[in-house]
Amino acid sequence: MPANSPRKIIHVDMDCFYAAIEIRERPELAGKPVAVGGGSGRGVLTTCNYEARRFGCRSAMPGFKARRLCPDLIMLPVRFDLYRAESAKIREIFTEFTELIEPLSLDEAYLDVSHLHSKAAAIAWEIRERIRERTGLTASAGIAPNKFLAKIASDWDKPDGQYEITEDRMDDFLIPLPVEKIWGVGKRTAEKLHAQGVKTCGDLREWKESLLMARFGKMGSSLFRLCRGIDDREVNPDRERKSLSNENTFRENIFELEEAHERIGKILSELIEDYQEKCSDREIRECFVKLKFEDFQTTTAQKASHRIDVDLYADLLEEAWHRGQGRTVRLIGAGVRFVSAKKPDSDPNQLEMFDS
């Protein structure tokens, strides 16, 4: 590839992944509104098919709310083993094209195909075709010179479609693009920008980098670059999450162990949700609880486990709590550490780099 030619990045995202697999397994459900998860009423939907989305049902919505929006909604239990197996088949297909694969979750990955001669759009087409043939599922793809644009593009012609943003069409695409679509811009940043009259990437380009940095800190500089379509992040096959955790700092310190037990419940349910959403393909090796005491000293209690075991967290909480010897607690955290998913022959130095 000549040094200056644009990179060819593909972002592949399966369509309503868990729901699509369940419907493939039970063809009688095709065309009906179907969700996965949320069945107990208090739980949340992991996802739902497009029929259910027409009623307003969404991922992470409590089951009772989804049922209210769509009384005929069919809610199915979650079967992670099945989704993991499908995910493995899809990753196998990616490896037939490139080794530069960076999975983001069970159903999403970036691929760098810059080194291949074929057009990126043709490769994306072929990948989606093979996915359909071997799994019976549909995928959408985004093709662009960088990760930021490829990810936005995969959403553009969803489901079962693909969209390419070439370098010469980048500005046409970006100028009217709402700032909410920028990677890292959440609800709060979007509100802040809207309040300043900034609705689109085009509006954002009016701002100097120094001003953006003054208003948004380090993120300001990334906003400056992303609204111009500049994103140099590499597709990184070695990137590997080593742990996942969730923590909460309280407005008032906690005095009683009993209250700590109550508080950890919510932290754990969010941890479980996060795990299911981001890394349910990863094998857990250890659970831990972290406490920060009134004097800002922290302690961590941990134990080997293969799952997010609520009873184990209760024990770990007590163990850590007693180390405080009467001190009150200002923060509780709970998390899991993972078994490395990397092949033994991969370069251990690379792993260290991303762990720091």
What amino acid positions are annotated as catalytic residues? 108
Site membership for ligand TTP, residue 86 (CB under 6 A): no
Give the residue, chosen from 201, 276, 321, 335, that forms a contact with ligand TTP under the rule CB under 6 A.
276
Nearest in space to 249 (alpha carbons), one of 263, 268, 265, 270: 263
The least CB distance from residue 55 to Mg ion, in Å, is 19
Site membership for ligand TTP, residue 11 (CB under 6 A): no
The window from 6-14, 62-70, 160-168, 243-251 that contacts Mg ion (CB under 5 A) reads 6-14
The least CB distance from residue 139 to Mg ion, in Å, is 8
Nearest in space to 149 (alpha carbons), one of 123, 128, 169: 169
CA-to-CA dists, residue 259 to 188, 245, 251, 330, angstroms: 30, 20, 14, 12
Amino acid at 335: G
Site membership for ligand TTP, residue 107 (CB under 6 A): yes
The least CB distance from residue 120 to Mg ion, in Å, is 20
Site membership for ligand TTP, residue 22 (CB under 6 A): no
How many chain residues touch ligand TTP (CB under 6 A)? 17
Query: Based on CB atoms, which residue is closest to ligand TTP, 167 or 281?
Result: 281
Site membership for Mg ion, residue 21 (CB under 5 A): no
Give the residue, chosen from 13, 164, 203, 240, that forms a contact with Mg ion under the rule CB under 5 A.
13
Give the residue, chosen from 62, 136, 159, 161, that forms a contact with ligand TTP under the rule CB under 6 A.
159
Sign of the four-CA dihedral 124, 130, 131, 137: positive
Residues 6+ apart with CB under 8 A from 254: 260, 263, 328, 329, 330, 332
Site membership for ligand TTP, residue 60 (CB under 6 A): yes
8 by Cβ neighbours in 10 Å (0-12 / 13-18 / 19+) ranks as: buried
Site membership for Mg ion, residue 86 (CB under 5 A): no
For the beta sheet containing 329-338, the strands, ordered from the edge strand earlier in sequence to the opposite edge, are 243-254, 329-338, 284-293, 298-304
Give the residue, chosen from 157, 270, 277, 281, that forms a contact with ligand TTP under the rule CB under 6 A.
277
Q: What does 159 bind: Mg ion, ligand TTP, none (CB cut-off 5 to 8 Å by kind)? A: ligand TTP
Q: With beta carbons less than 8 A apart as the criterion, state whether 195 and 167 touch.
A: no
Q: How far apart are CA 216 and CA 300, in angstroms?
A: 33
Interface residues for Mg ion in 177-216 (CB under 5 A)?
none
Give the residue, chosen from 8, 10, 13, 288, that forms a contact with ligand TTP under the rule CB under 6 A.
13
Give the residue, chosen from 9, 15, 57, 204, that forms a contact with ligand TTP under the rule CB under 6 A.
15
Backbone angles phi, psi at 285, to 5 degrees: -115, -20
The least CB distance from residue 171 to Mg ion, in Å, is 28
| Helix-then-strand count for the chain, H and E | 14, 12
Q: How far apart are CA 202 and CA 185, in angstroms?
A: 15
Task: Give me the residues paired with residue 110 across strands.
Answer: 11, 102
Helix, coil or strand: residue 6: coil
Site membership for Mg ion, residue 231 (CB under 5 A): no
Q: What does 277 bind: Mg ion, ligand TTP, none (CB cut-off 5 to 8 Å by kind)? A: ligand TTP
Site membership for Mg ion, residue 14 (CB under 5 A): yes
Site membership for ligand TTP, residue 162 (CB under 6 A): no
- Note if the bond before 159 is cis, omega within 30 degrees: yes
The least CB distance from residue 315 to Mg ion, in Å, is 37
174: its two tokens: 């970006």
The contact set with Mg ion (CB under 5 A) reads 13-14, 17, 107
Q: Which residues bind ligand TTP (CB under 6 A)?
A: 13-18, 46-47, 59-60, 105, 107-108, 158-159, 276-277
